[in-house]
């Protein structure tokens, strides 16, 4: 119906005609109310997006290039406008309510915001505190894994990133980096892996050399290896864990410590060094019967030492290099013979003590002493070539050599009387001329000292020739010939010539040379009862010494060469390398 339309009486069958004479029809006509419209702007979208009107009527449209959209001929009413939000974007409110009023345009705008991307993952193995880097161009971000080995980078813009793991000590990354491309709102993932680096336990065993067994316990099963020529050993390819290193200590050695605990980390290379010390050997020699001053010699390939026995007939060789073969020899004193072996050889392990027992017996049982005239005739007959001497010149010179070796060079009580036990400088044994000079001294014009020396030489010739035993009685109260020899030496060296002491020395020697004994108390019983024997018994001093382990090397730079000379003298020691060059 329009305003000012004519009224029609529906009960009146007569209708009024239009002024133009046309006939009017009566019927039903639809009513179309007035409409409204909706317009808006979707900003921030990466391109055209769909927009939907939801309500009593449904309309769909799409934004234009500038992001605008509109709905026209919208019946009045309450609606919701919904925008299709692209992936990676968010809208401020979606959908938004709107009321359409007839004849009016309602505005509904949307603002789309890009959602930042994230990159996250879990490292393997899932260790805590491992740095993870995210790199894009010149920019780098760093995160640290949590207790579960996880990391996360957020607020990322679209692009391709590199995930780089910074492995802790003992690990190596499975790959240098992982490329991860992301768009807005995307959660990229990367799970970088690390491989543990096997560890090594090694060390040096000093003081021995090659062939020692080293055991590593603590893994799935014990491992063993041998040291090389430099004492080095190593266990490789080991897992992280707790271990113990044990060294099989060879016999005769001691180690500074053993069964060493080691806490090995992945990629670790701790060292465990051992220092072996060769234990010393102690050798004791006991003589029976107990005799004072008897020389005992100990020799090996690299060692020589001679010691006299003490008053109990014992001597001790201490701190000898272990793990060596030693020969122990009793140097038989004048007038004795060995009962059993006088020389014993045995290999001795370090840290042990070897007790060696020797037994000897006297071979001179009767006093057959001869006076100075007898010995003078022996010397003169050999020098002149006339007469029938009992001893040859060689035998007499041998006696002189025995006097020099057994008395002059005695380690316990050396007797140095010129013309008696030695002659010349440097000192040496008497020759026949020197013996003749001493034995030819006449009483007239000579001193008591000279005459005492004459009888002293005679006494020593009687002893070294076996006519008088050192152990035979020299006095009526039991002093021995050995004590007499020591006491005469004390008398000759303690006072000036021609003193009463020199006369007493002469008298004692003269009486003994007559196969008699002096009175009680003449020879103090406190005088040392030295059983005289040679120092080295003719043992040749080795002119070559070989180093025994440990030998000098870069890991054990020093070694000790021990030796002892039979007597003090100027000695040259030359050391050569294995190549023959002098060092």
Smallest CA-to-CA distance from 227 within 252, 250, 204 is with: 204
- Nearest 5°: CA angle at 413, between 410 and 414? 50
pLDDT digit string, tens, across residues 111-126: 999 999 999 999 999 9
- pLDDT of 187: 96
Between 446 and 512, name the one with better pLDDT.
Answer: 512
Rounded mean pLDDT, 37-64 = 94
Tell me if 66 sits within 8 A of 132, measured CB to CB.
no
Tell me if 320 sits within 8 A of 282, measured CB to CB.
yes
Between 362 and 21, name the one with better pLDDT.
Answer: 362
- pLDDT of 334: 83
Tell me if 223 sits within 8 A of 216, measured CB to CB.
yes
Domain boundaries, the chain: 36-114, 117-196, 199-278, 280-362, 372-512
Rounded mean pLDDT, 432-452 = 91
Rounded mean pLDDT, 76-93 = 94
- Taking the C-alpha atoms of residue 355 and residue 496, their distance in angstroms, rounded to an integer, is 46
- pLDDT of 544: 42
Rounded mean pLDDT, 29-51 = 88
Smallest CA-to-CA distance from 156 within 137, 131, 129, 130 is with: 137
Q: Taking phi first (over 0 means left), then psi (-120 to 50 degrees means alpha), and beta for anything else, what does residue 213 get?
A: beta
Name 107's bridge partners. Answer: 39
- From residue 429, alpha-carbon distances to 52, 163, 280, 396, 433 in Å are 137, 96, 38, 11, 11
Q: Is 531 exposed, middle or buried (0-12, 13-18, 19+ CB in 10 A)?
A: buried
Whether the pLDDT of residue 149 is over 50: the answer is yes
**What is the average pLDDT value for the chain, to the nearest integer?**
88
As its CATH architecture, domain 280-362 has Sandwich (2.60)
Name 360's bridge partners. Answer: 338
- pLDDT of 580: 47
- pLDDT of 556: 54
Between 397 and 555, name the one with better pLDDT.
Answer: 397
Q: Which of 30-39, 431-440, 529-538, 556-565 has the lowest mean pLDDT?
A: 556-565
Name 474's bridge partners. Answer: none
Name 150's bridge partners. Answer: 122
Same fold, 36-114 and 280-362: yes
- Taking the C-alpha atoms of residue 329 and residue 335, their distance in angstroms, rounded to an integer, is 17
In this structure, is the dihedral angle defined by the CA atoms of residues 368, 373, 375 and 377, taken in order, positive or negative? negative
- pLDDT of 554: 53
Q: Does domain 36-114 have CATH number 3.30.2020.30?
A: no
Predicted confidence band of residue 37 (pLDDT cuts 50, 70, 90): very high
pLDDT digit string, tens, across residues 276-306: 999 999 999 999 999 898 999 999 998 899 9
The continuous run of DSSP H or E covering 450 comes out as: helix 448-464
Whether the pLDDT of residue 538 is over 50: the answer is no
Rounded mean pLDDT, 545-563 = 54
Rounded mean pLDDT, 242-249 = 97
- Taking the C-alpha atoms of residue 250 and residue 248, their distance in angstroms, rounded to an integer, is 6
Predicted confidence band of residue 13 (pLDDT cuts 50, 70, 90): low
Q: If one looks up domain 199-278 in CATH, what number appears?
A: 2.60.40.10
- From residue 460, alpha-carbon distances to 159, 331, 409, 417, 485 in Å are 115, 18, 14, 12, 8
Q: How much of the chain, in percent, has pLDDT values that exceed 70?
A: 85
Rounded mean pLDDT, 127-138 = 96
Whether the pLDDT of residue 15 is over 70: the answer is no
pTM tops 0.85, yes or no: no
- Joined together, the tokens standing for residue 66 give 């500038």
At the topology level, CATH places domain 117-196 in Immunoglobulin-like (2.60.40)
pLDDT digit string, tens, across residues 477-500: 999 999 999 999 999 987 665 578
């Amino acid at each position: 119906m329009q305003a000012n339309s004519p009224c029609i009486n529906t009960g009146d069958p007569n209708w009024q005609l239009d002024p133009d004479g046309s006939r009017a029809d009566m019927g039903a006509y639809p009513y179309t109310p007035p409409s409204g419209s909706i317009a808006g702007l979707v900003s921030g979208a990466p391109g055209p997006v769909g927009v939907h009107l939801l309500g009593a009527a449904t309309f769909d449209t799409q934004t234009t290039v500038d992001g605008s959209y509109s709905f026209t001929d919208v019946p009045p009413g309450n609606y919701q406008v919904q925008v299709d939000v692209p992936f990676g974007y968010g809208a401020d409110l979606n959908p938004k309510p709107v009321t359409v009023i007839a004849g009016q345009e309602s505005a509904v705008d949307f603002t789309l915001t890009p959602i930042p991307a994230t990159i996250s993952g879990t490292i393997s193995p899932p260790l805590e505190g491992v740095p993870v880097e995210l790199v894009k161009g010149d920019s780098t971000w760093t995160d640290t894994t949590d207790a579960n080995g996880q990391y996360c980078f957020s607020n990322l813009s679209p692009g391709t990133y590199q995930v780089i793991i910074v492995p802790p000590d003992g690990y190596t990354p499975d790959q240098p980096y992982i490329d991860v491309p992301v768009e807005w709102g995307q959660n990229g993932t990367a799970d970088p892996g690390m491989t543990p680096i096997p560890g090594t336990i090694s060390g040096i065993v000093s003081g021995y050399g090659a062939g020692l067994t080293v055991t590593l316990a603590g893994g799935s099963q014990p491992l063993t290896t041998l040291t090389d020529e430099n004492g080095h050993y190593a266990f490789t390819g080991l897992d992280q864990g707790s271990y113990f290193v044990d060294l099989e200590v060879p016999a005769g050695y001691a180690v500074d410590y053993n069964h060493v605990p080691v806490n090995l980390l992945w990629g670790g290379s701790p060292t465990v060094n051992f220092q072996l010390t060769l234990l010393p050997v102690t050798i004791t020699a006991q003589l029976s019967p107990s005799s004072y001053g008897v020389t005992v010699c100990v020799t090996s390939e690299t060692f020589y030492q001679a010691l006299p026995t003490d008053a109990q007939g014992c001597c001790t060789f201490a701190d000898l290099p272990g793990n060596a073969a030693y020969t122990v020899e009793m140097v038989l004193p004048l007038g004795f013979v060995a009962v059993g072996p006088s020389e014993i050889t045995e290999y001795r392990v370090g840290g042990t003590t070897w007790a060696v027992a020797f037994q000897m017996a006297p071979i001179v049982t009767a006093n057959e002493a001869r006076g100075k005239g007898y010995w003078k005739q022996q010397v003169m007959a050999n020098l002149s070539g006339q007469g029938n001497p009992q001893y040859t010149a060689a035998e007499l010179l041998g006696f002189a050599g025995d006097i020099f070796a057994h008395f002059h060079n005695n380690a316990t009580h050396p007797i140095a009387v010129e013309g008696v036990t030695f002659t010349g400088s440097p000192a040496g044994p008497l020759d026949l001329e020197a013996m003749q000079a001493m034995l030819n001294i006449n009483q007239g014009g000579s001193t008591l000292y000279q005459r005492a020396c004459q009888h002293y030489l005679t006494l020593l010739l009687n002893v070294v020739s076996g006519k008088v035993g050192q152990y035979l009685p020299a006095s009526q109260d039991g002093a021995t010939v050995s004590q007499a020899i020591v006491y005469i030496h004390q008398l000759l060296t303690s006072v000036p010539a021609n003193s009463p002491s020199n006369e007493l020395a002469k008298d004692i020697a003269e009486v003994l040379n007559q196969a008699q004994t002096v009175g009680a108390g003449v020879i103090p019983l406190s005088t040392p009862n030295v059983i005289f024997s040679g120092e080295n018994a003719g043992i040749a001093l080795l002119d070559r010494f070989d180093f025994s382990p440990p030998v000098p090397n870069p890991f054990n730079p020093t070694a000790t060469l021990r030796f002892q000379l039979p007597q003090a003298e100027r000695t040259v020691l030359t050391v050569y390398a294995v190549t023959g060059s002098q060092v």
